[in-house]
Amino acid sequence: MSSKSKRKHANKNINRQNTGGNLKKAATPALLNDKSLSPGEVTAPVILSPKELRQKQLDEKRSAQTALKEKRKLEKEKKKEEKTKNPKKKPFAWIGEMIGELKKVHWPSWSQTVKATAVVFAVVSVFAIVILGIDYVMKLLYDLLIQPTANVNSNMSSVIANLIHSIKGGK
Q: Are 14 and 47 in contact (CB under 8 A)?
A: yes
Instruction: Say what the pLDDT of residue 31 is.
Output: 46
Instruction: Say what the pLDDT of residue 127 is.
Output: 98
Mean pLDDT taken over the chain? 77
Query: What's the pLDDT tens digit per position in 15-56?
Result: 555 555 444 444 444 444 445 556 666 666 677 788 888 888
Instruction: Say what the pLDDT of residue 153 is.
Output: 62
pLDDT-based confidence at residue 130 (cuts at 50, 70, 90): very high
Q: How far apart are CA 123 and CA 131, in angstroms?
A: 12
Instruction: Say what the pLDDT of residue 43 is.
Output: 63
The SS3 call for residue 90 is coil
Q: What is the DSSP string of 61-114?
A: HHHHHHHHHHHHHHHHHHHHHHHHHS----TTHHHHHHHHHHHHS-PPPHHHHH
Residue type present at position 7: R
Instruction: Say what the pLDDT of residue 162 is.
Output: 76
| 112-128: average pLDDT | 97
Instruction: Say what the pLDDT of residue 123 is.
Output: 98
The SS3 call for residue 112 is helix
Q: Are 52 and 26 in contact (CB under 8 A)?
A: no
Whether the model pTM is above 0.75: no
Residues 6+ apart with CB under 8 A from 37: 43
Instruction: Say what the pLDDT of residue 10 is.
Output: 63
pLDDT-based confidence at residue 120 (cuts at 50, 70, 90): very high
Lowest-pLDDT range of 3-12, 15-24, 94-103: 15-24
More confident residue, 141 or 91: 141
Task: Answer yes or no: is pLDDT of 14 > 70.
Answer: no
Task: Answer yes or no: is pLDDT of 64 > 50.
Answer: yes
